[in-house]
Amino acid sequence: MVILNAFGNDNNENKRSIIFCILRLQIPQPPNMKNISFLLLLAAILCISAGNPANDYTGFKKSNATIQRKWESTYDSILKPAGIDGFIKFLSAHPHHVGSVYDHKNAEFILSNFKQWGYQARIDTFYALFATPKLRVLETIGKPQFKAALKESPLKEDATSGQTTEQLPSYNAYSADGDVTAELVYVNRGVPADYEELDRLGVSVKGKIVIAKYGGSWRGIKPRLAQEHGAIGCIIYSDPKDDGYYQGEVYPKGPFKNETGVQRGSVMDIPLYPGDPLTPGYGDTKDAKRIERKDAPNLLKIPVLPISYEDAEPFLRGLGGQVVPENWRGGLPLTYHTGPGPVIAHLKLEFNWDVVPLYDVIAVMKGSRNPDQWVIRGNHYDAWVNGAYDPISGQATLLAEAQAVGQLVKQGMQLNRTIVYCAWDGEEEGLLGSTEWVEANAAELQQKAVIYINSDENGRGFLGIGGSHVLQKLANEVASDVNDPETNVSILERKKAAEVMGASGKEQKELMDQHGIKIDALGSGSDFSPFLQHIGIATLDLGFGGEDNGGEYHSIYDSYDMFNRFKDPGNKYGVVMAKTAGRLTLRMANADVIPFKFNDLYSTINDYATGIMHDLDDTRSKTEFDNRLIKQKYYTLAADPTKTNNPPLPKDEVPYLDFSTLQNALAVLKNSSHQYEMLANSAPQKPDSILNKLNTLLAHSEQQLLSAQGLPIRPWYKHAIYAPGYYTGYGVKTLPGLREAIENRDWKLAQIQEVIIANVITGYAAAIDEAVKILKGG
C-alpha cells in the first residue's frame, strides 16, 4: 500500500494501470510479500516510464475521460494513409501560389470537402499586395563575363517539375525594384556577427552588392542588414555544404539540392509586422484604406535575388581580398574570399505590384454545450510552386482530421466546444491570410477563441512541438498516447530519446531525468504568429521531421514524386500527425475544464528570467576582459601584421540592473499558480455554473500576457513572453523586450522593459487568483 499511496490519494486509475502492468509482465506468482512489493515497484516504474497512465486526460471528469478515450479510438480507426495521399496528390498537382488559378481551385476543393463532411464552411476573401517578377538579370561586368541562368532544370523523374508556364520563377517576394552595378562582397550568412567580423577585416559593404549564404537566420534579415550597412543590392544563394551534395546524393538520385535548385521566399520584414504591408494592424478587406507602398515600413529599399549554387560559383570564384575565416567556408570547389571585387556584379529586377485575392477557407463544427468557445485548427495551403511537402503534407493531415471528426459527429459524438478548421492562403508571402483574418476578427476572436493549433509541413521522424507553456502538460499527455510507426514506442518516448542523445554532459543527464519533454517557445515563420503574439490566444504548433532532410525547400522539386520517395513514404507520419493534432483538438474541444497548467508557465518564465540575469553577468565579465585585451593591444600584437585585422572597439561597461520588480512578480505568479494547481484536479467535478465562469476566465488568460504598448520599434507584437527576434526572424526571443534591450546594450530601455514585463506577469497572476476564487465558490 505504501507504493500505491505514493501516487496520491486520488489515483485509482493509476493503481489499476499498475496492476494491469503486473499482469502484462507474465511473471510467476511470487512466493512472498517482499517479492510482491518489488514487483509493484518495478511495474510502477515501467508504467510511468512508458508514459501511458490511464488517468491522463487533464480537465476531464473521469466518466467523460472514458467516453473521450473511446471516441479517440474510433477516430484513429478512420484515419488512412491512402486518404492523406489522395489529398497530397490533388492539392500539389499544379503550382498554386497566391493569386494563381490553381490556388483558387484548391480553395474550392477544400471548401467542397468541408461541406460534404458536415461543416458550415465558407471562404473569407481578403485582398493583399503581392509582387511577381517581370525582369530578372544577374551578370558580371567585364571579364570573365557570366550571366546567371536563373532557371531550375525540369527532370524526367519528377512529373511536375516541367510545368514551367504555371511556375513562379525563382525570386524573393517584396524585394525592391532596382538596377544596380557594384563590386561584390561575400558576407557569409549576413547576420550581425558577420558584419562585426567584416569590420575587423577592414571590409565595408557600403555602395556594394553583397552575396550571402542561406541559413543562420531567416532570409529577410540578410537584405535588411545589408541595407542598414549601406549595401545597394543583395544576392542569396544555397551553398552545397548546407543542403546540397555535401550532405548526400542530390535530387533526383537523393533528396538534396541539385546544382540548379533555388530557394524562393519572402523578404517582407515580418519581425516588424506580418500580413499585407499596406494594411498594418487591420484586415485588408476590399474597401480597406491602404497606405502607399513607399510608406510601408516592412518593405525593403534594395533589390534582392536568390540563386542556385551553380549560378553563385562564378561570382564567388571572381572575388579577391582576404581568405574568409574557416567557419565562413562553404562546399564549392573554390577558395572563399571576402572581396570587395574584383568581380563586378550587375543586378536588375522589375516587379508587377498587384493586389490579389486571398481565399481563407473556414469550416465550423458547432459545439453543443459551449458553442461560443472556439478551438481553432489551421494550416496553410498556398505554396511557392507545387509544395507537396510545404505545406500540403500538413494541409492533407488537417483535412484527414476534419473528415474523421465529421464522421464522429455523425456517429453521435457531441462536441462541448466549437471546432473551427482553417485553410490559410498567402502564408508563404508573409502570413497574409491568417494575419488578415485575425486582424479583421480580432475582437470576436479574443472573446471566443480558446486555443489555436497550427501545423505546416510534415515528414518522417520526431515530434516537434512548441507553444504556450500552459499547454505543456496537455502536449505530453497526448504524445504519450500516440505510437511512433517505426519503433512502436510512444512519440513522447522517441522525442525524449532524440533530445537526450542530441545533448552531452550535464545537459544530457538533466534531460534524461526530466519528466516528459518541454515544449519549445515560438518565434515566427508560420500562421500561429498573429494568434499568439498579436491577440494573445494560447497556441500550439506541431509537426514531425528530422529523418526527412533534403534540399527541395521552396523549389520546383518540392513535388509529389519527391515527397513519396524521400519525405514520408507510405504517409505513415501523416497518420501519426493526424492522430496527434486530432487528439489535441478533440481534448481541447471536450474537456470539462480547459486544461491549462500555470505551474509549467511559471517555471518556464522563471527560467527565462534567470537565464537573462546570468547572461547579463557573463556579458559584464566578458566586456571587462575584452576591454582589457583591447587596451593592452593583445588583438593587435597577436594578429598577422601582413593582413588587415582591426581590433574590436571597446564597449561601455555593463551596469548592474535592478531585477527586483520582475523577481517579485515571479514570486507572486509562483504562489498564484500553486494555489490554482491545488484545486485543479477537483475542478471538473464542479457544477456547471462554476465551470462556465472558470472556463471563460481560462480562455482569456493568455491575453493577460499582452502588453498594451507592444514591443519597442515593433508594437504589432504584443506578447511579453514570446516574439520573433528582430535580428533572427523566425527564431524566438523570450521576454523579448528585456532580452533585446540588453543585447543592444540599451540599459535604460532594459530597465523600462523589466518593469513592463513585471507588470504583465502581476496582471496574469491576478487572473489566476480570480480562477482560484471561482473554484472556491467566491
Q: Pseudo-torsion of CA 457, 461, 466, 470, nearest 10°?
A: 130
Q: Is 719 a catalytic residue?
A: yes
Burial of 503-528, coded b for 16+ CB within 10 Å and e otherwise, reads eeeeeeeebeeeebbbbebbbbbbbb
Q: What are phi and psi of 679, to 5 degrees?
A: -105, -10
Given CA atoms 242, 247, 249, 251 in this order, what sign does their dihedral have?
negative
Q: What is the DSSP letter of 212?
A: E
Give the residue carrying C-alpha cell 517482499. 34
**C-alpha to C-alpha distance for 770 and 611, rounded to whole angstroms:** 30
Give the residue carrying C-alpha cell 551596469. 655
CB 223 within 8 A of CB 293: no
Q: What are phi and psi of 737, to 5 degrees?
A: -60, -45
**C-alpha to C-alpha distance for 131 and 142, rounded to whole angstroms:** 31
Number of C-beta neighbours around residue 102 at 10 A: 19
**C-alpha to C-alpha distance for 76 and 82, rounded to whole angstroms:** 14
Q: Is 139 a catalytic residue?
A: no
**C-alpha to C-alpha distance for 104 and 108, rounded to whole angstroms:** 6
Cell of 530: 498573429
CB 239 within 8 A of CB 331: yes
Among residues 428, 461, 442, which one has the least CA distance to residue 542? Answer: 461
Cell of 741: 534591450
Q: What are phi and psi of 127, to 5 degrees?
A: -135, 110
**C-alpha to C-alpha distance for 524 and 330, rounded to whole angstroms:** 27
**C-alpha to C-alpha distance for 107 and 122, rounded to whole angstroms:** 10
Cell of 300: 525593403
Question: Is the link from the previous residue into 240 a cis peptide, with omega within 30 of 0?
Answer: no
CB 175 within 8 A of CB 223: yes
Residues whose CB is less than 8 angstroms from the CB of residue 251 and which lie 6 or more positions away in sequence, other chains included: 155, 158, 257, 258, 261, 550, 551, 552, 557, 562
CA-based diameter of the chain, in Å? 92
**C-alpha to C-alpha distance for 331 and 616, rounded to whole angstroms:** 37
Q: What is the distance in angstroms between the CA of the first residue and the CA of the last residue of the chain?
A: 37
Given CA atoms 426, 430, 432, 437 in this order, what sign does their dihedral have?
positive
CB 760 within 8 A of CB 704: yes
At 94, which amino acid appears?
H
Spot the catalytic one: 427, 436, 493, 740. 427
At 481, which amino acid appears?
D
Give the residue carrying C-alpha cell 536563373. 150
The residue count for the chain: 778
Spot the catalytic one: 92, 719, 740, 754. 719
Number of C-beta neighbours around residue 30 at 10 A: 12
Q: Is 427 a catalytic residue?
A: yes
Spot the catalytic one: 49, 63, 77, 660. 660
Number of C-beta neighbours around residue 366 at 10 A: 15
Q: What's the angle, vertex CA 651, arms to CA 647 and CA 654, rounded to 5?
A: 145
Given CA atoms 274, 277, 282, 288 in this order, what sign does their dihedral have?
negative
Cell of 569: 513514404
The catalytic site residues sit at 427, 660, 719
